[in-house]
């Protein structure tokens, strides 16, 4: 007479706990990735107590060494107008956010405003420049 055991050992691996772990890690990385600031160009922005929120179409940076960046691509002052024009083509009322370091002379800020005004005059549009600041 052969004696058989009632409890048979299963050689299969349960994946239920593994999928729970993967979903928890996915949620963790999704939440922490939204907290990272996407600005690659480090600037010390001037401070202000006013708050203006606008939908930005293009971001122009001027760093402490007076170099222009349009959407994180370095451009010369002579290429500034054409680069902005290419990015806002087809829009009638775009907002150009200007992030200038607080040590930058006003003339460099005026150069960006002049470039946008030239685009407005040639295309009969109403694009505006918004100066980005940090809260006081």
In the structure encoding, which two tokens stand for residue 93, read together?
């009322």
In the structure encoding, which two tokens stand for residue 87, read together?
């990015």
The mean pLDDT of 71-75, rounded to a whole number, is 89
Render pLDDT for 83-131 as a digit per residue (tens, 0 to 9).
998 888 888 888 888 988 888 998 999 999 999 999 889 888 888 888 8
**Domains in the chain, CATH or no CATH each:** 47-135 (3.30.420)
- At residue 69, the pLDDT reads 93
- Burial of residue 87 (number of CB atoms within 10 Å: 0-12, 13-18, 19+): middle
Render pLDDT for 23-63 as a digit per residue (tens, 0 to 9).
999 998 888 876 665 556 666 666 667 666 666 678 999 99
Question: How far apart, in whole angstroms, are the C-alpha atoms of residue 33 and residue 28?
Answer: 9
Q: Which residues pair with 96 in a beta bridge?
A: 58, 129
Buried b (16+ CB within 10 A) or exposed e, 43-55: beeeeeeeeeeee
């Amino acid at each position: 007479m052969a004696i058989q055991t009632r409890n048979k050992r299963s050689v299969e691996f349960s994946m239920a706990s593994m999928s729970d772990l993967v979903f928890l890690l996915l949620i963790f990385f999704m939440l922490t990735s939204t907290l990272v600031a996407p600005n690659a160009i480090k600037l010390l922005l001037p401070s202000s107590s006013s708050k203006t929120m606008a939908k930005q179409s293009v971001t122009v940076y001027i760093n402490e060494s007076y170099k222009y960046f349009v959407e994180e691509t370095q451009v010369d002052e002579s290429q500034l107008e054409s680069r902005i024009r290419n990015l806002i083509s087809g829009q009638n009322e775009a907002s150009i956010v200007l992030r200038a370091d607080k040590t930058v002379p006003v003339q460099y800020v005026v150069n960006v405003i002049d470039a946008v005004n030239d685009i407005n005059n040639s295309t009969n549009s109403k694009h505006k420049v918004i100066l980005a600041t940090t809260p006081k």
